[in-house]
Amino acid sequence: MSFAERYGPWAVIAGASEGTGREFAKQIAAEGVSLILLARRTGPLEDLAAEIRKTGVEVVTASVDLARPDAAEQIVEVVGDREVGLYVNNAGADPNGSRFLDKDLQAWVDLAQRNVMTTLKSAYHFAGPMRARKRGGLLLVNSGACYGGGSFMATYSASKAFDLVFAEGLWAELKDHGVDVLTLVMGQTDTPAYRALLAEKGLPLPEHWASPADVARTGLAQLPHGPIFNWGQANDVAGYAPNSPDARRARIAMIDQHSRSTFGEG
C-alpha cells in the first residue's frame, strides 16, 4: 500500500504548530493525507494550515491545551466522524527545567496529564477503528529521558517512560491487526521550545543537534518497524539506552507470547 492508503485519509497531529510537529504535518501532507492539526497557540497553527492548503491538501485546525483534563474529549469532538489512519503524538516537551520540589505542583500535574493521560485516551480512541480496519499507525514522539530519571527530570522522565512502555505494549497488541506503533526516541533537536529553554537557563546551543525535518522524515520511515527507534542509532545498537531496539523487540515478543498463554490466547 502507499503511505496514503496505509495511513489515510486523515492524520491527527497533536502539538503541530512548530518544530517537529510542523515538519510531520508538511511531510504527511506531501503524501496526500488530509490533516487535523492541534496545538494550544492558534497563530502558528493557522499559518501552517494556510501554507499546506496551498498544496491542495485539506486541513482542519483546533486550539487544544493538551494539559487540560478534557483535552482528549476536545480532540474527539474536533475529529468528529472523519476516518483517522494516523495519530502523531508530538506534544510533550518539558518547559520547566526544574527540580521537582522547586516548582509548583501544578506544573508537574499538567505535564503528566499531557504526556500520560491525554496520550492514553487519544490512542484508545484512534486505535480501535484502526484495528477494525486492519490498517493505520500510532507514532508517539519520545525523548531519551525515557530511559532513566535524574534531577531536573523526575516527572518528565517518568512520563516519557510511560510512553515508551505504552508504545511497546500497543505494538505487541496491534501488530497482528495491521496497525503500526512506534515510539520515536529523540535526542537533542533544534526546536523553538528547546531553544527557549536553553535561553532561559543561559545555556549555549548544542554543537550537534538534529533538525526537525530529519527527525520527522526518519520517524515516518521507521513507523512500520516499531516499536522503538532511537534517533541517531542503528536498531541493533544500545547506545544511550539500556539495550537496543532489536533486543527490546525480542523481549517484548517473548513477554507477549507468555501473556497470550497465560490468558488463553496462544
List per-residue pLDDT tens for the chain, 266 residues long.
Answer: 999 999 999 999 999 988 999 999 999 999 999 999 999 999 999 999 999 999 999 999 999 999 999 999 999 999 999 999 999 999 877 888 899 999 999 999 999 999 999 999 999 999 999 999 999 999 999 999 999 998 999 999 999 999 999 999 999 999 999 999 999 998 877 777 777 777 887 888 887 788 899 999 999 999 999 999 999 899 999 988 989 999 999 999 999 988 888 887 75
CA 116 and chain centroid, separation: 11
For this structure, is 121 an active site residue?
no
- State residue 260's pLDDT score: 84
Contacts of 128 (CB under 8 A, 6+ apart): none
Place of cell 526544574: 98
Identify the pLDDT of residue 150: 87
What global pTM score does this model have?
Answer: 0.92
CB-facing half-sphere around the CA of 50: CA atoms within 13 A: 6
Nearest CA among 168, 180, 105, 97 for reference residue 139: 180
Annotated catalytic residue, options 7, 87, 156, 194: 156
**Does 87 qualify as catalytic in the annotation?**
no
What domains can be seen in the chain, in order of their start residue? 3-262 (3.40.50.720)
Between CA 97 and CA 103, with CA 99 as vertex, the angle to 5 degrees is 85
Question: 7, 26, 147, 160: which is the annotated catalytic residue?
Answer: 160
Residue 41 near residue 67, CB atoms below 8 Å: no
CA angle, corner 188, sides to 93 and 4, nearest 5?
70
Cα-Cα-Cα-Cα dihedral sign, residues 20, 22, 27, 29: positive
Cβ–Cβ < 8 Å for 19, 192: yes
| Rounded Cα–Cα distance for residues 20 and 216 (Å) | 6
Question: Distance between CA atoms of 35 and 8, rounded to whole angstroms?
Answer: 9
